[in-house]
Structure 1
Amino acid sequence: MLRRAELPVDTVELARFLIGKMLVRMLAEGVVGGRVVETEAYNIGDAAGHAYRGMTHRNRALFLERGHAYVYLAYGISLMLNVSSEAPGVGAGVLIRAIEPTDGIGIMARNRGIERVRDLARGPGRLCAALEIHRRLDGIDLCQAGPLWLGWDGQASGEIGQSKRIGITRAADSPLRFYVLGSSFVSGPRVLNR
């Protein structure tokens, strides 16, 4: 399990740091999770970030000390998971866009209704569906044992690429997306994954 002291107190640094780390979900059926292969940073004052207009009931988890989960519904369709990334009271976060499944692949396949491992958690909505991440997990501490946590198994992340973020219109050209080069589990168009 990652200790909070290991997490950089900087959104962009945290987005890069989380590449290669483990996202683990404890379910009644067993443990599911995998290696983080893609993230996006949403900095302090970022017009594309949910904290941009200040703290609300919906986004208050982004203002918690770094290492807490912010779970929200995007476009009324898909849940998404962010990790709060700054000091308490400062709103910013890192979107976990994709993982390479390593544990509980059969459970994830049932949750998603598909068998192709590559597509189980490639994209933030798919990831949350595969791991049964729901709004009740909003605000939990990802640096403590519980239903959802961050870890590290000692393996190197591989070479990290950087590109503009995906699926946004504000500050869309900011190079704040990080991913494992050559990973087939990364989402988005191939032109951004070189």
Structure 2
Amino acid sequence: MKLDREFYAKDATILAKDLLGKILVHEIDGFKISGKIVETEAYMGAIDKGAHTYNWKRTPRVEAMYGKPGISYVYFIYGMYYCFNVVAKEKEIPQAVLIRALEPLEGREEMSKNRFKKPFNNLTKREVINLTNGPSKLCNALKIDKTNNGEDLCENKLYILEGENEKFDVEASKRIGIDYAEEAKDYPWRFYVKGNPYVSKFRKNK
């Protein structure tokens, strides 16, 4: 069952934890590609120096973050990579959750071709882990790009499903790659499934 609007209508720090174990799905080119969410980061908008919308910054690039909960915010970095986020809270309150890593489920053959241009069975063990163990890697594997920015995850072919309610431990750490964010770089707003091999980095607070 797809997650509904109400599920997303909460603070990003809460949503980031609640999304762990859920299933991200993209139906594209006649295929269904999916992965279990195992790592997330919360971005708390106007009060968060790590967020694109800190101090209520509003530009065409970040407009999706001001949308209703449960839409996608996809942005481009380094002139070559995409990152996929889920908008949280409520309309006009620009919070979002970055999906940092997935455990591949359905469509591994398509993921392999998207990422490495070769069949899944030809991947090395390292390449298997590298399919989706980072925010840009999972976008590449699932063919998520700028055309998905602002997409409604409650209605379209990019969506999130309930998981299997499995039991797992959640760990928290500082977020990654936001050293510019002054004190906000130390907020423990990165969450991941303890021990999952697809988590991008096992970095803990000092």
TM tier, smaller: over 0.9
Structure 1 contact 66–86 (Cα < 8 Å) conserved: yes
Q: Which residue of 2 aligns with 1:141?
A: 152
Contact 1:80 1:128 in 2 (8 A): yes
Measure how far apart 1:192 and its partner are. 3.1
Identity rate of aligned residues, in percent?
38
TM-score (norm 2): 0.88
For the 8 Å contact 1:159–1:180, the answer to whether it is kept is yes
Residue 78 of structure 2 corresponds to 75
Judge conservation of contact 2:41–2:99 (CA < 8 Å) in 1.
Answer: yes
Contact 2:175–2:187 (Cα < 8 Å) also in 1: yes
SS at match of 1:34: strand
Q: 5+ residue gaps in structure 2? A: none
Partner residue, 1:97: 100
Report which of the two structures shows the higher radius of gyration computed on alpha carbons.
2
Partner residue in 2 for 1:192: 204
Alignment of 1:15-164 (within 5 A): 15-44=16-45, 45-52=47-54, 53-113=56-116, 115=123, 116-144=127-155, 146-156=156-166, 158-164=168-174
How far is the alpha carbon of 1:75 from its aligned partner?
2.1
Shift of residue 55 of structure 1? 1.8
How far 1:8 moved relative to its partner? 4.4
Deviation (angstroms), 1:74: 1.3
Equivalent position SS for 1:172: helix
C-alpha contact (below 8 Å) 2:74/2:146 kept by paired residues: yes
CA distance in 2, matches of 1:36, 1:157: 14
Task: Show structure 1 runs of 5+ residues with no match.
Answer: none
Indicate which of 187, 191, 194 corresponds to 1:178.
191
